[in-house]
Structure 1
């Protein structure tokens, strides 16, 4: 299986690669167009700002390529948010407009931002991505912005408000948490994605 971790210039590229390698799969960190087209699975990681990731994708002429690929894609944290139409971050940033939703600052009702630490996800549907994962299982989050609940939400999480923690539209998947930092459960979710 050919797995490409999209080189978004973010800090968690290597930790995502190591997590996939530990599962026994080979992966490449790349922004090469041919490798992207010829891959079986694509992962879009993200730590940092949406503006920097979108700028990187624009500079590499990857915007339209990502929007039109047909193989399964997994966006992680900020990599999930770039799949959206628009983010409130930094005064407003346009996303890839793959999933027609917007990203907004979490209204935590007094809880601290960023939302950092372990939290559970609540399944909206039964999905292959959640195979051997239970509703009380927890994953590691670090974020201040989130996608509200919408028709593409397949799991949600509560932190002062309910927000989308897992999303899917066609071949595009996104998780707001960091599976590469979520131990055995994170590995299980990554494996589930790679086996879809």
Structure 2
């Protein structure tokens, strides 16, 4: 049973439909008390980090996520919120995955980083099963997690950044697996199969 956390900061239907295509029946939850009843959870997110983080804290999600001991994965902004802090609004985040989120140094490239881009595998992990070097996924972001020991897969856009991270039962994907065709489908299936 998969919970999709609805904090009001994401269009969750595309994530729900992606899991339904895998034969799963995810449940969209709106109350932190519901979280402990699920085997795994997704934290999606779009928008501004400071607004999203305030909603998590004000509505009791921070404690529920801290206490959750099963697989939980953030997508896009949801991944960034699992990290220690972000330059977007200069806020402290959930601190479940080590590292800071900083503005992408894109140089002469346009920001945000939007569209299909390659992945590079840094570490083997259950979440990267079946992934090969230089496969492409769909990104939309202007902030990114710095590469560190939690980085499983990296991307490149003006600089190298974390595309998939994991620490203990928490993981994150900076791109949108639900919009990333066959590669995204495989990665979501890996999350479904992930055993701690």
* TM-score, reference length from structure 2: 0.95
Aligned 8 A contact 1:3 1:42 in 2: yes
Offset at residue 33 of structure 1 (A)? 3.0
Query: 2 CA distance for matches of 1:68 and 1:109?
Result: 40
Query: 2 CA distance for matches of 1:158 and 1:8?
Result: 29
Matches within 5 A, 1:3-22: 3-22=2-21
Aligned 8 A contact 1:31 1:60 in 2: no
Offset at residue 4 of structure 1 (A)? 0.4
Partner of 1:36: 35
SS at match of 2:53: helix
Out of 126, 139, 143, the position equivalent to 1:128 is 126
Offset at residue 150 of structure 1 (A)? 0.8
Out of 164, 167, 178, the position equivalent to 1:166 is 164
Instruction: Give the count of matched residue pairs.
Output: 194
RMSD: 1.1
Matches within 5 A, 1:85-164: 85-90=84-89, 92-164=90-162
Offset at residue 103 of structure 1 (A)? 0.7
1:75 maps onto 2:74 in alignment: yes
Partner of 1:54: 53
Runs of 4+ with >4 A deviation: none
Aligned 8 A contact 2:74 2:82 in 1: yes
Aligned 8 A contact 2:152 2:164 in 1: yes
**Most deviating of 185-194 and 8-17:** 8-17
Cα deviation code 1:59-86 (max 9, x no counterpart):
2111111012100011101000001111
Query: 1 CA distance for matches of 2:159 and 2:79?
Result: 19
SS at match of 2:46: coil
Offset at residue 10 of structure 1 (A)? 2.3
SS at match of 1:89: coil
Cα deviation code 1:2-50 (max 9, x no counterpart):
1100112123211100111111101011132342101001000011111
